[in-house]
Structure 1
Amino acid sequence: MREIAASRISAVLAELIVKISTELGEDILTALHKAYEAEESPAGRDILQSLLENARIAKEKKIPLCQDTGTAIVFAEVGQEVHVTGNFTDAINLGVRQGYEQAYLRKSIVSHPFSKRINTNDNTPAVIHTEIVPGDRLKISFMAKGSGAENMSRLFMLKPGVGREGVIEAVLETVEKAGGSPCPPIIIGLGVGATAEKAMFMAKKALLRPLGITHTDPEVAALETEVLKQVNKLGIGPLGLGGRVTALGVMAETAPTHIASLPVAVNLQCHSARHGEAVL
């Protein structure tokens, strides 16, 4: 059994939060450059150029990429041979608290969702998803999820007979209704199968995959390609002002499901796709 101190988890997470909140990933930057070359709309090109300039300034000056510094979402893959010495949940929340203070990030979490919406003042508690996996390592993936995109999430419980085309239509409906609200160009997380809550989890976790890396299953990869093609035909464009580039990529995950079910979850991510990982 390998031991990992809770204090180490907090320190690593705080460092990760500072980095991803001020430095856009190379995969996102590459995709934005490609989008700029592909976009034909003058307004769209201006917006994409501004996004690239924003990313440059944020990195150089160590300031937040976006004013919405997001909900703190943690995906933890805990090796079954790992023992955390200390309280794991407390360690995660301490890391979030420290990271948001160190990077001077806006605190956006309120204590009660529908009555006393009082700011917790440290962006905690984090949303934590934990999975037990083989091995003696702890992998922490952090995502800062802005509400403009998160609010556009959709869950469809489709009839199985609609098949692949029904899945595509669900995504197109979601993106078209969202318009400019999720700050396109977007990245689309897609979860198909399992149950309602599992599909939503898959859709969000799929967004952690680097842009440009397709699914290992050829059939799922083909679905990702087709969805991206159809979404970019909608003409929504950068920030919803029209253009060829509405989405930078589609990341899909699937799971077996009940004979009477076809759950489809769509989770949209804005162009400021802030996430990263650390392995302890």
Structure 2
Amino acid sequence: MKIDLQAVEDTAKALYIRALKVLPPDIKEGFSRLEKRETDGTAQRVLATMVQNIAVAEETDNLLCQDTGVPIYNLWIGRGVEVDGQALKQAIRRGCERATREYPLRSSVVHPLTRKNEHTSCGVEVPVIHIDFNDEPQNLRIEMIPKGSGSENNSFLKMAVPAEGVAAIKTFVIDCVLAAGGKTCPPTIVGVGLGGTSDLAVALAKRAATRPLGSACADPAGAELEQQLSIAVNQLGVGPQGLGGDATAFAVHIELAATHITMNPIAVNMQCHSARRARADISPAGVAFGF
């Protein structure tokens, strides 16, 4: 299958807008679970307000949050797909620019030194584009994640001492959640990246933070630690919007990689309660949107 680059551009544009306006079903279900378990009166009211805001945004076709974030596009190229990689990236960028200008959206992307805003949601190395491969035949999958600064500002890395073991991981994650407090607009998804190198650990944490609720780490030991930490962070009392309560996080997600015998990298990246993402599959049958 040869990829139609115009279809990619149009899809990239549509995904950005869709991600900003429609919350994935797993996040809505996560709110329902937290509401049922919440015991603090103030937290119950805050959660109810969040749920109402989500409903109003969708009913009135408005954005879930004013922060349009840093646009991230994750692509998976399936078997038998023919595409020019550089042209593919350019099509994604054009789609991102069109979403910002034609919708229009507020551009949140600026130059790191001059702070100049091109009002395209694009800049040097932005949108962030990750390209990988999978076994799906004749299929190109595009996932769009607008990562807001409230959550991205709460990113942490520690090169732990291996002898400290799992205890160091637990302590660091708990300390990060406490340090973030209400600044990440909890309830959050706490993404944890373990192992690899420093840069890989941070990338794994981002992958974990943006994974759908209900999914589990593919590694059994990682999945067990996810469950332990998910319980622990919701006993900290941070609560929704940092105002106290049980609902500090929807979940703790972990992604891991092998590492060096003398290293134990630990990274934490958080996603706010408006955990926005959208996905599309481009195949010979056309374009199918989902989450």
TM-score (norm 2): 0.90
- Counterparts of residues 158-237 of structure 1 (less than 5 Å): 158-237=160-239
Q: Is 2:72 aligned against 1:97?
A: no
Displacement of 1:207 = 2.8
The answer for the alignment partner of 1:240 in structure 2 is 242
Displacement of 1:80 = 5.9
The answer for the alignment partner of 1:108 in structure 2 is 108
The answer for the alignment partner of 2:128 in structure 1 is 127
Deviations 1:131-181 (A, max 9, x none): 244454322111111101100000111111122111111111111111110
User: Number of aligned pairs?
Assistant: 277
The answer for the alignment partner of 1:117 in structure 2 is 115
Conserved? CA contact 1:18–1:102, under 8 Å: no
Displacement of 1:268 = 0.4
Gaps of 5+ in 2: 283-291
3-state SS of the aligned residue for 1:279? strand
3-state SS of the aligned residue for 2:112? coil
Deviations 1:52-72 (A, max 9, x none): 111111111111100111110
3-state SS of the aligned residue for 1:72? strand
What code does the residue aligned with 2:263 have? S
What code does the residue aligned with 1:261 have? M
Measure the CA separation in 1 of the matches of 2:43 and 2:153: 23
Counterpart pick for 1:250 among 249, 252, 259: 252
The answer for the alignment partner of 2:65 in structure 1 is 66
Conserved? CA contact 2:100–2:119, under 8 Å: no
RMSD, aligned α-carbons: 1.6
3-state SS of the aligned residue for 1:183? coil
Conserved? CA contact 1:64–1:103, under 8 Å: no
Measure the CA separation in 1 of the matches of 2:103 and 2:41: 34
Deviations 1:86-124 (A, max 9, x none): 7122111111122234543221000x212x111110101
Q: Sequence identity of aligned pairs in percent?
A: 37
Q: Is 2:264 aligned against 1:262?
A: yes
TM-score (norm 1): 0.94
The answer for the alignment partner of 1:29 in structure 2 is 28
Measure the CA separation in 2 of the matches of 1:103 and 1:28: 25
Conserved? CA contact 2:210–2:275, under 8 Å: no
